[in-house]
Structure formats: structure tokens, C-alpha cells
Amino acid sequence: MSTTRIPEATRLALYRQMMEIRYCEKRAYDLFLQNLVKGTSHLALGQEAVAAGFGVAMNKDDYTFCTYRGHHHTLARGASMLSVLGELMGRQCGLMKGKGGSMHLTSVEHGVMGSYAIVGAHLPVAAGAAWSAQYRGTKQVATAFFGDGATNIGAFHEALNLACVWKLPVVFVCENNGYMEYTPIGSVTAVEHPAADRAASYGLPRILIDGNDADVVYQTACDAFDKARAGGGPSLIECLTYRHSGHSRADPGKYRPKGEVEEWMKKDPVVSYRVRLLEAGVAEVTLDEIDAAAMATLDEATEQAKASPLPEIASAYTDVFADGGAAWRN
């Protein structure tokens, strides 16, 4: 695929986005180690190109639906590092003031319509948001990100079928990182490519891409969004990628065959993109400045999050119902 038609400014945006995610995820990990993040957390280290490629390609009013592994997509839509790290730390400055936690990041002002911790559950929800956009005639597109493991759950099948029958402006993005938690996806899936090999079941073309190549992801995203906005209906895109760390905080990732991580490290999406930009003539200092700016923002966010107060206990009893409270009786 020729990627030269992507403007340099866009490519720098892709790079910046990936760097911000990379730094922020690493920081999240450090904060665990300091016991400042109490619950679980699922890092997207290694999967930055998917988030950046789609995030940069989206319109501001498009909808993103994430899984519990959703920090990268939330950041890619413009949610601040402070609001993300704050949520992981259960602070008042967090996106949901500690009520949702790492697995439920939501930032409606940035189009992040929630992170869903039940595998596959958000695919029909994204289809519904797309239905709403179609009905309202807004040209918005909804994108649902999910893992390889999610392709084996019923909701995947139902969402794909409904979206195709109704020709909804929704893009289903499978981040195939090779594992469902600790089990290799190949050992529990009847086809080699859990998403791409099933596209035909819904009358969709087969799309299988290098999910570690931000240019490829970006271009594929643009094409899918164009199609959706033009009334062409859904797309199903399988992105081949890899998570550098364990499944979640608790997981050292011992089930991986020797050398696998090392192989994938060679295809690190951030490092390789940096090399590509340099080769394309971007000045090193430009990239260094991006890195430094990301780190500065991150450091400031970290300090602010640490200084942020804990939410008041009373907040646990709010927002069950629309009246703001939790009263189920008179």
C-alpha cells in the first residue's frame, strides 16, 4: 500500500498520539507499582497504532466504544491524561470520579461512549449508536474496538448481522493481539483470522491489516469511515498487533512462547513509525519535541492526579437514576 498520500501533519499527529499513549500507559504501570492504582488495569502497550490510526481519522462527533482495554482509544479521542490517570487512581479528577474505574473509561465530550468490561457487549451498542446517527442523519460513524477473543461471543455475531442488514454506519475493529487473556486465540477459534475470516458471513469484504503500521491503520480507517458516511454500511477490520505487557495488571504473561515478545518488539509500532518518519525526512528534533511535550504533559498530569482529592463518599449514591440519586422508593 502506498502511504505517501498521507500529509506530513497527519503523520506527525499519528506519531504524537502514539507517543502520548505509550508514555501514559507506561506511567499507569509505574503508578500500579506505587500502589496508586488500586483496581485492575489492561494496558495497550504495543497496540498504539490502532488507536492512533483510527482516532486521528475520526471526526470530532464520531463515536468510540472501547473495551476494558481502552486507555489508548480514550486518549486518542482527546481525553486528557489527567482525566484518565485520575480515574485509574480513583480520584476526583478522574473521568468518572472513581465510579467507573480503568475498565469503564467514558468521555462523552470526546465521543468516548464508554468502555465495556463484558467481552463483546459493546458491539451491538455501537450498532445502536450508528442506527441513531443514521436516523438523525448526522453522518456520524460509530467505531467499536474489541479483541480477537471477542469474535467468539454471540454478541459479535448478532451485532454484525444487524449492522449489515440495516446498513449502519459502524466500523468494527478487531485488535488481534493473539491472546484472549492467557489462552492463544488459535487454540479456541475455528478459523485462522477470527474477524477477517468471518466477514463473508455478513456479506462484508475481508479486511486484514498490519495493526502496527499507523499509516496503514489510518488509511484503512479513512476508507471505512468514507464508506459508512456514504451510506455504504459497516466494515469489519482485523488489525494484527501484539500487547507488550500481560493481559492485565495481575498477569506476568508466562504463557507466551520464548522469543515471541522479542519478535514483536522488533515490530514496535511507535519505534518503527519514528524510523519511518525520519526516513521520510522529518527532522529528529521535531520528533524529539513531540516526545518532550508528551512527557511534560504526562508529568504534570501525574502530579495533578496525585494531588487530586479522593471523591466524597456521598458520590457513591449519586447518578443511579436521572434525578441524580439512588432512591427506589418514596
* Binding residues among 97-156 for Mg ion as defined by CB under 5 A: 147-149
List 1, 108, 118, 200, residue binding a copy of itself (CB under 8 A)? 200
Place of cell 497496540: 47
The distance of closest approach from Cβ of residue 200 to a copy of itself in the complex, given in angstroms and rounded to an integer, is 6
Per-residue CA distances from 90 to 85, 110, 118, 261, 310 (Å): 9, 20, 21, 31, 7
Contact 216, 129 (CB under 8 A): no
State whether residue 155 is helix, strand or coil.
helix
Per-residue contact flags (x/-) with other proteins for residues 173 to 192, judged by CB under 8 A:
-------xxxx---xxx---
**Residues in region 107-126 near other proteins by CB under 8 A:** 107-108, 113-114, 116-126
Instruction: Residue 173: name its binding partner from other proteins, Mg ion, ligand TPP, none (Cβ under 5 to 8 Å by kind).
Output: none
Among 106, 107, 140, 189, binds a copy of itself (CB under 8 A): 189
Residue 188 binds a copy of itself (CB under 8 A): yes
Out of other proteins, a copy of itself, ligand TPP, none, what residue 142 binds, judged by CB under 5 to 8 A for its kind, is: other proteins
Q: State which amino acid sits at residue 233.
A: G
Q: Which burial class, exposed, middle or buried, applies to 18 when counting CB atoms under 10 A from its CB (0-12, 13-18, 19+)? A: buried
Q: How many CB atoms lie within 10 A of CB 265?
A: 12
From 4, 35, 187, 330, residue interacting with a copy of itself (rule: CB under 8 A) = 187
Q: Which of 136, 113, 120 is nearest to 58 (CA)?
A: 113
Angle at 25 between CA 124 and CA 311, to 5 degrees: 80
Considering only 149, 169, 211, 234, the residue that binds other proteins (CB under 8 A) is 149
Contact yes or no for 173/211 (Cβ under 8 A)? no
- For a copy of itself, the closer of residues 75 and 150 by Cβ is 150
User: 8, 59, 165, 200: which one contacts other proteins (CB under 8 A)?
Assistant: 165
